[in-house]
Amino acid sequence: MSVCPAARSKNWLPESRPAPYRKRFGHAGYCIFAASGRRNHHRRRTLKPKHRRPQCPPPPDRPEILDSDHLSARTRDILTSRLSAPETQPRTLSLQAYAVLDALLPVLLPLDEILPPGTDINMTARIDAALSGPRDGWRFADLPPDAEAWEAALLTLDDVAAEQHGIRFIHLAPELRGTLLDAMMTGQLGLDRDGRLSIPQMARWAGDLRGEVVDCVMSDPRVQQALGISSSLTGGDTVFQGFTEVGPDSREDFEPKATAPLAQMADSRE
Amino acid sequence: MNSTTVMKTFAETNIVDAVVIGSGAGGAPLAAELARNGKTVVVLEAGPAFTAMGHTPDEIAARELYWLHERLSAGTNPQAFGGNNSGTGLGGSLLHYGAFMPRMDARDFHLHTETGKGVDWPFGLDELLPYIERVESFIGVSGPTHYPWDPERRYAYAPPLANSAALKMREGCDALGLRHADGPAALITRDIEQPHFGTRHGCANCGACHQGCRNGAKSGADNTWLPMAVAYGAELRPGCFAHTIERDSSGRVTGVVYRQNGVEHRQKCATLVLAAGAVETPRLLLTNDLANSSGQVGQNYMTHVSTQVWGEFDEDIRPNRGYPSLTITEDMMRPKDADFVGGYLIQSLGMMPATWGQNLARSTTTRGPAFARALAGYNRSAGMGINGECLPRPENRVTLSNEKDAFGIPKPLIEHSYGPNEWAMHNHAANLLSRMWEAIGAKDIRVIDRAAHMIGTCRMGTDAGSNVVNPEGRSFDIDNLWISDHSIFPSAAAANPALAIMALSLRTADAMLKT
Ligand SMILES: Cc1cc2nc3c(=O)[nH]c(=O)nc-3n(C[C@H](O)[C@H](O)[C@H](O)COP(=O)(O)OP(=O)(O)OC[C@H]3O[C@@H](n4cnc5c(N)ncnc54)[C@H](O)[C@@H]3O)c2cc1C
Ligand code: SF4
């Protein structure tokens, strides 16, 4: 199988320097193969490192909704800030845990059918940074505080990978990473030792992981644009427009149309 | 607040007639009513003062409206707090509540008499109705001209536009022969001049009620009761976290110690009203070891069974648009085929994308492309949700955990597990709502088992041995301590709670004025 150069370099994730690769290349990788419909062509992680620059140009990065006058200045600033990656990575997790998170996200929630090829929403870095910011005001009593729980959970996955397969989580083929995630979510994966999470704790944490990922994805302006979501466009600062049409099949002109392959069905009926 | 009103301020050494801790549904009406009757009032609110136009529909940033001091959640149905069940700021949880405003069903006041289960209230609907009507008329509630379950009832404002979910639920009800109506919603649908506040605009159908209403259409405390309180001389102090309740040698309350911008302050008062909500009020009492001769502080924690059922439609639904929960049916308040006591209301549900995605993420274990596909279905999704009775159970309670927060105060531990009645109601609703969606062609129907609201923990009743406050909201143990918030509810009742909390708040104010 031929592999695109961008994918080749980013598929190598040395434990000592996991973060910057994503900033440069993005995990979805903009490349000629993306357009060819070979969706899983970036999933291999067992390749040898090659430090080559990607040959594909960066994708257009500014979603149109950001320029709508149905957006308040404050909301525009909030959404725009999500277009760039947090400066220091990792901020909360250890390098090892960060690398595990980075390797599990595309298996948990691949975005290549939602976002335009080459768009990277820096999920790993944003989640890691969010773990150091204000949290959402509660946690399961049987889990340690969030940052600690995430570190322990990700290291648990890494240890289980090593115990079951003899290699670290990040080197597992996507299918095997997926199997471990499934085991975690259905209450079959955990470790009873210090600094790691037990089986019931891992199942609980899986909910937190899924919730955090969805927060990150659904609040991203590129995702909102691609899925045709108008939730940020409630009204501007001088005129608070709201919506005049709210029934089925009544998209207003200022609302985005879905562009993601996965979400075009509704719009195609208009 | 009305820009022309200058807020009166009190010196900390003044002994004010009343300090009210908390400015939400329980605290604000009472503060306004006491001030209107000439009492000196200081409201201590832990959260900030927000401005309506500063709210943002961005769900992550709108977390500023939640209570973010960490709570620990346990039990077999650990409850999510944050955006699901908390609020902070001048206006309390009403800043981001959904404004669904049904009245409590008369039967729910006497559940124990009716069924032998649960608890009776110390009075019936007749007692609360005049206060309910005062609340509705003062804050502004919209509703239909004919309310099928109470034909006498009138609303001052026409309902807002029905969004996709509301229209779909109407179809679902018709398909199964259930009655439906536009539900009562605490919002106005035409511009008005709100006394002591200024202009409030009619609902713009923006759909972001849970992130804060930007044009004043939603009837909260920030644009109704609190401006009125200020107009009559009350002082609102945002950013003030109350933590210590001081007493004299006879045990009566003399003042409150609170922290503002990292500095400790003390406000003296003749009377203290706790209106900090059903988790923070018992936490304050427990940390101060107060008013608990009954041993009931923190006990009887209840929620509402709030099962949701979502489906995907072929049409472009766009669930973020329009007032989120317009259609109601009260036909399940006492279903004939029920294997549970009490009943539930059904309402249509639109939702903002991250909140919707959170529900999906936490209620399934899909992964990979299937997960992405489910999220991509947002614009085709409509939901319905219930709000149902939840019985008090000894294992459900608020206690102090071993962990301390940034103030050095123990974090609250909230244990919550459904009992057989809650599960039976959940199953009944899951089945009915799924059939409604199936009947009108919804696909990928998904049941979400969830509980909402924080209720109980400082029960009101006639017997001092098993209740924390008397039927007026006054502590049995300390005669100048009152409670006015969701914690005093003896039973959960099915209706969304804010209307009854505000009505009780006015009633407690009346009782205070008589003493
Ligand atoms: C997302 C959401 C949607 C809802 N939707 C609806 C709905 O559609 N209809 C409905 O009827 N109800 C709804 N509710 C419920 C309703 O908002 C609450 O039941 C109601 O506001 C509770 O009133 P309360 O006075 O008990 O507490 P709150 O309104 O929460 O007020 C408590 C206040 O006390 C403050 N406080 C707490 N501790 C301290 C302290 N130590 N010092 C100083 N201040 C303190 C808090 O910051 C807060 O502002 C919703 C709630 C939420 C969270
Ligand atoms: S839908 Fe109406 S009431 Fe709700 S936030 Fe928007 S304008 Fe305010």
CATH of the domain at B21: 3.50.50.60
CB contact at 8 A, B385 and B345 = no
For chain B, the average pLDDT equals: 97
Three-class DSSP category at B507 = helix
Contacts of A203 in chain B (CB under 8 A): none
In chain B, % of residues over pLDDT 90: 97
pLDDT at A22: 34
Best CA proximity match to A157, nearest among A213, A202, A124: A202
> Are A215 and B358 inside 8 Å of each other by CB?
yes
Q: How confident is the model at residue A261 (pLDDT cuts 50, 70, 90)?
A: confident
Which residue among A137, A186, A263 places its CB closest to the CB of B81? A137
pLDDT at B425: 98
- Say what angle helices A123-132 and A146-165 make with each other, to 10 degrees: 130
pLDDT at A87: 80
Which chain A residue has the Cα nearest residue B78? A140
Contacts of B79 in chain A (CB under 8 A): 138
Burial of A88 (0-12, 13-18, 19+ CB in 10 A): exposed
Domain for residue B10, yes or no? no
CA distance B97 to B8: 29
Domain for residue B138, yes or no? yes
C-alpha distance from residue A165 to each of A18, A161, B367 (Å): 22, 6, 21
Mean pLDDT of B61-65: 96
β-bridge pairing B16-21 and A138-140: unpaired
pLDDT at B233 over 90: yes
Report which ligand 2 atom has the smallest distance to the Cα of B212: 5
Give the residue carrying structure tokens 């939400």.
Answer: B24
Report which ligand 1 atom has the smallest distance to the Cα of B47: 47
Distance B210 CA to ligand 2 centre (A): 9
Mean pLDDT of A162-171: 98
For ligand 2, say whether the CB of B398 is within 6 Å of any of its atoms.
no
Pocket test for ligand 1, best of B97, B244, B256, B279 (most atoms within 8 A of CB): B97
Which residue among A72, A178, A211 places its CB closest to the CB of B367? A178
CA distance A121 to A8: 19
Q: How confident is the model at residue B85 (pLDDT cuts 50, 70, 90)?
A: confident
- Give the DSSP per-residue string, B268-280: EEEEEEE-SHHHH
pLDDT at A265: 53
Mean pLDDT of B32-59: 98
Which residue among B69, B73, B376 places its CB closest to the CB of A141? B73
Distance B24 CA to ligand 1 centre (A): 6
pLDDT at A134: 84
Best CA proximity match to A261, nearest among A108, A112, A105: A112
> Are A186 and B365 inside 8 Å of each other by CB?
yes
Mean pLDDT of B256-277: 98
CB contact at 8 A, A29 and A56 = yes
Ligand nearest B321 Cα, by number?
2
- For A167, the token pair is 């290699």
In tens, the pLDDT along B146-164 reads 999 999 999 999 999 999 9
For ligand 2, say whether the CB of B208 is within 6 Å of any of its atoms.
yes
Which chain A residue has the Cα nearest residue B323? A246
For ligand 1, say whether the CB of B99 is within 6 Å of any of its atoms.
yes
Mean pLDDT of A172-176: 98
pLDDT at A19 over 70: no
For ligand 1, say whether the CB of B277 is within 6 Å of any of its atoms.
yes
- Alpha carbon nearest to ligand 1 atom 25, residue: B26
For ligand 2, say whether the CB of B55 is within 6 Å of any of its atoms.
no
Q: How many residues does chain B have?
A: 515
Our CA-based measurement puts residue B382 at a distance from the nearest CA of chain A, in whole angstroms, of 10
In tens, the pLDDT along A179-203 reads 999 999 999 999 999 999 999 999 9
In tens, the pLDDT along B116-126 reads 999 999 999 99
Domain for residue B11, yes or no? no
pLDDT at B202 over 50: yes
Q: How confident is the model at residue A131 (pLDDT cuts 50, 70, 90)?
A: very high
Query: Which residue in B188, B209, B320, B325 has the most chain A C-beta atoms within 10 A of its own C-beta, making it the best mutation to test that interface?
Result: B320
Mean pLDDT of B337-363: 97
pLDDT at A72: 98
For ligand 2, say whether the CB of B205 is within 6 Å of any of its atoms.
yes
Which residue among B68, B205, B365 places its CB closest to the CB of A185? B365
Domain that holds residue B201: 16-514
Best CA proximity match to A218, nearest among B384, B364, B374: B374
- Alpha carbon nearest to ligand 1 atom 16, residue: B498
Mean pLDDT of B28-38: 98
In chain B, % of residues over pLDDT 70: 99
Our CA-based measurement puts residue B35 at a distance from the nearest CA of chain A, in whole angstroms, of 33
For ligand 2, say whether the CB of B213 is within 6 Å of any of its atoms.
yes
Which chain A residue has the Cα nearest residue B413? A141
pLDDT at A18: 32
> Are A72 and B53 inside 8 Å of each other by CB?
yes
For ligand 1, say whether the CB of B45 is within 6 Å of any of its atoms.
yes
Query: Which residue in A74, A83, A107, A138 has the most chain B C-beta atoms within 10 A of its own C-beta, making it the best mutation to test that interface?
Result: A138
- Provide the number of CB pairs (under 8 Å) joining chain A to chain B: 227
Give the residue carrying structure tokens 């990607």.
Answer: A54
Ligand nearest B84 Cα, by number?
1
Domain for residue B5, yes or no? no
pLDDT at A24 over 70: no
Contacts of A266 in chain B (CB under 8 A): 314-317, 379-380
Domain for residue B413, yes or no? yes
ipTM (interface pTM): 0.95
pLDDT at B1: 58
pLDDT at A32: 27
The H or E element containing residue B501 is helix B498-514
The H or E element containing residue B259 is strand B253-260
Give the distance between the most distant pair of CA atoms in chain A: 61
- Work out whether the CA dihedral A15, A38, B357, A77 comes out positive or negative: positive
Domain for residue B253, yes or no? yes
Domain for residue B155, yes or no? yes
Contacts of B59 in chain A (CB under 8 A): 215, 218-219
Give the residue carrying structure tokens 């940390």.
Answer: B287
Pocket test for ligand 1, best of B93, B306, B487 (most atoms within 8 A of CB): B93
> Are A139 and B73 inside 8 Å of each other by CB?
yes
pLDDT at A264: 64
Q: What values do phi and psi take at B297, rounded to 5?
A: -65, 125
Domains held by chain B: number: 1
Q: How confident is the model at residue A50 (pLDDT cuts 50, 70, 90)?
A: very low
Report which ligand 2 atom has the smallest distance to the Cα of B204: 7
Q: How confident is the model at residue A57 (pLDDT cuts 50, 70, 90)?
A: very low
> Are B371 and A234 inside 8 Å of each other by CB?
no
Contacts of B318 in chain A (CB under 8 A): 230, 246, 251, 255
Which residue among A135, A140, A270 places its CB closest to the CB of B73? A140
Distance B160 CA to ligand 2 centre (A): 9
In tens, the pLDDT along A224-245 reads 999 999 999 999 999 999 999 9
Residues near A95 by beta carbon (within 8 Å), at least 6 away in sequence: A15, A16, A17, A18
Which chain A residue has the Cα nearest residue B415? A141
Contacts of A234 in chain B (CB under 8 A): 57, 204, 206-208, 214
β-bridge pairing B181-182 and B327-329: antiparallel
Mean pLDDT of B92-117: 98
For ligand 1, say whether the CB of B282 is within 6 Å of any of its atoms.
no
pLDDT at B304 over 90: yes
For ligand 1, say whether the CB of B472 is within 6 Å of any of its atoms.
no
Q: How confident is the model at residue B465 (pLDDT cuts 50, 70, 90)?
A: very high
Distance B497 CA to ligand 1 centre (A): 10
> Are A136 and B322 inside 8 Å of each other by CB?
no
pLDDT at A258 over 50: yes
Domain for residue B8, yes or no? no
Q: How confident is the model at residue A122 (pLDDT cuts 50, 70, 90)?
A: very high
Mean pLDDT of A95-108: 98
Mean pLDDT of A90-100: 97
Contacts of B54 in chain A (CB under 8 A): 74
For ligand 1, say whether the CB of B217 is within 6 Å of any of its atoms.
no
For ligand 2, say whether the CB of B206 is within 6 Å of any of its atoms.
yes
Which chain A residue has the Cα nearest residue B367? A108
pLDDT at B2: 62
CA distance B92 to B453: 13
Contacts of B206 in chain A (CB under 8 A): 234-235, 240, 242-243
Q: What's the pTM value of the predicted model, to 2 decimals?
A: 0.92
Q: How confident is the model at residue B457 (pLDDT cuts 50, 70, 90)?
A: very high
